[in-house]
Amino acid sequence: MMKNKTINNIGVISLGCAKNRVDCEVMIQKLLDAGYQLCDDYNACDAIIVNTCAFIGPAKEEAVQNILEAASYKSYGLKKLIVTGCLAQRYGNELIQLIPEIDAMLGVKNFDKILEALREEKALSEIAPLTLPSPEGPRSLTTENYSVYLKIAEGCSNRCAYCVIPSIRGDFMPRRVENILQEAKALAQNGAKEINIIAQDITRHPGLIEIIKGICAIDSVAWIRLLYLYPDEITPELIDLIAKEEKIVKYIDIPLQHAANPVLKRMNRRGTQKDYRKLIASLRKKIPQMALRTTFITGFPGETKQDFADLFQFIRDIRFQNLGVFPYSREEGTKAAGYCGQLSEKTKQRRAEQLMQLQYGILDEINQTFVGNTYTVLCEGEAEIESTEKNLYKGRAYFQAPEVDGMIYFTSPQPCKAGEFYPVTLLKYDCYDFYGQALWKES
């Protein structure tokens, strides 16, 4: 396909989660293969693509703001504004009516039509059915090559009452194991040392154990990180594999969402607080050094003071190392949007802040146990913070996932290289971040 001769330089804005990022990387590679050039200076762009998120209210607002900002460059010669991703999928032509500057729009199942969108002279709006498989293909990484995401499935079938994912991304649709492993090998050949396995619910993939073992067999991959595991699908076999396999970092992200049984039931979550406690106890017994991350929602419709107190006590008892809290977002089209007992924004926000204040105290106590110990750290290059220290670098240990957790800043008597592992002794901390010293053997 010939590219549009009037369009050469393309700006790309990608918002939202890592799964959306992977989609965008597939799209970017198609652009590069077709001869287009990526451009960071939007004043010089012939076209801008905004790959959007629409999970909750703040994400939608951010997406619209970015689209409007991109649209403003039409005054400076921008020829095409293309919107892709979840916001396009969710709102379709309604979005074009709201922002007529949009020239083309593609959903989550047909973003591979990006070349047609650029070539087409008239407005293009195509939202493919959610029953179609998600486009796959080579990716142009927007992360560093040594730490990458590997998406193993699309969509979700859990039908949580608050969640729009099934209506935006469709039902759970696993990728073929052979395709996943082929992509993992390609990523490793390109320099990947850390592979972060992602999906809305990776535990639902029937070939998860096979996938993990296959990636473990790739010699150059040192870390495999498992993100977004649904609690009642974490099997004893998976726990044993995590415990025994050295390449699997002892870090699990299990979004629990709440701990009060009445709220869990209204959320349409499977399991109870008792089940959660049993699971976490089993994980910590088999894997004592396990770092646990989770997320909770405050102010879900009908959440009573006692429900919130139960959640508060649960967090106090379990002592998660990494914790995210989100005030409930009332999303049209979800079951919970029609529930009675909607709480005020003030109450939802206040309860979220109370949980985070509790977590700061827990985190302070946990961090104290790390100080003085030495951990393997994946270096991510020179630190970009103001400091009087020379030769200051940044990186992450096993208990820190990319983008969502803290960093380790460390000095070194010798130069360190991004993408390599170094032993670092932690000397102090400041909330989420640690500061330390790299160890070097005397030559």
Domains along the chain? 9-126 (3.40.50.12160), 147-368 (3.80.30.20), 371-438 (2.40.50.140)
The two three-digit tokens of residue 404, written as one number: 């969502």
Chain centroid offset of residue 199 CA: 9
pLDDT at 121: 79
pLDDT at 178: 97
CB 245 within 8 A of CB 212: yes
How far apart CA 111 and CA 85 sit, in angstroms, is: 7
Please compute the mean of the pLDDT values over residues 153-172 and round it to a whole number: 93
Tokens 């451009």: give the residue.
39
Query: pLDDT band at 126, cuts 50/70/90?
Result: confident
Q: 397 in the Ramachandran plot: left (φ > 0), alpha (ψ -120 to 50) or beta?
A: beta
The candidate with the shortest Cα–Cα distance to 221, out of 288, 145, 279, is 145
Chain centroid offset of residue 236 CA: 25
Percent of the chain exceeding pLDDT 90 equals: 85
183: helix, strand or coil: helix
CB 379 within 8 A of CB 422: yes
Of residues 315 and 59, the one with the higher pLDDT is 315
Rounded to 5 degrees, φ, ψ at 327 are -60, 140
User: Is the pLDDT reported for residue 403 higher than 50?
Assistant: yes
pLDDT single digits (tens) 190-243: 999 999 999 999 999 999 999 999 999 999 999 999 998 999 899 999 999 999
In one letter, which amino acid is 22? Answer: V
Sheet containing strand 37-38, edge to edge, reads 37-38, 9-14, 47-52, 80-85, 104-106, 124-126
pLDDT single digits (tens) 65-101: 999 999 999 988 899 999 999 999 999 888 888 899 9
226: helix, strand or coil: strand
Please compute the mean of the pLDDT values over residues 393-410 and round it to a whole number: 95
pLDDT at 443: 44
The total of other beta-carbon atoms located within 10 Å of residue 88's CB is 31
* Average pLDDT of every residue of the chain: 93
Q: 135 in the Ramachandran plot: left (φ > 0), alpha (ψ -120 to 50) or beta?
A: beta
User: Is the pLDDT reported for residue 442 higher than 60?
Assistant: no
Query: According to the per-residue pLDDT averaged within each range, which of 130-134, 156-160, 276-280 is highest?
Result: 276-280
Alpha-carbon radius of gyration of the chain: 23
Cα angle for residues 314, 276, 361 (degrees, 5° grid): 30
pLDDT at 319: 96
How far apart CA 116 and CA 114 sit, in angstroms, is: 5
Tokens 């400076």: give the residue.
76
The two three-digit tokens of residue 274, written as one number: 């008792």
Residues 6+ apart with CB under 8 A from 385: 392, 394, 409
How far apart CA 204 and CA 34 sit, in angstroms, is: 36
CB 308 within 8 A of CB 302: no
Q: What is the pTM of this model?
A: 0.92
pLDDT single digits (tens) 314-339: 999 999 999 999 999 999 999 999 99
Q: Are strands 322-327 and 291-298 parallel, antiparallel or unpaired?
A: parallel
pLDDT at 252: 93
Instruction: List the beta bridge partners of residue 198.
Output: 151
214: helix, strand or coil: helix
pLDDT at 4: 62
Please compute the mean of the pLDDT values over residues 123-145 and round it to a whole number: 90
User: Is the pLDDT reported for residue 288 higher than 80?
Assistant: yes
How far apart CA 413 and CA 420 sit, in angstroms, is: 16
The two three-digit tokens of residue 191, written as one number: 């320099």
CB 435 within 8 A of CB 426: yes
Tokens 């287009």: give the residue.
36
Which class for 6: exposed (0-12), middle (13-18), buried (19 or more C-beta within 10 A)?
exposed
pLDDT at 5: 58
The two three-digit tokens of residue 77, written as one number: 């010669």
In one letter, which amino acid is 165? Answer: I
392: helix, strand or coil: strand
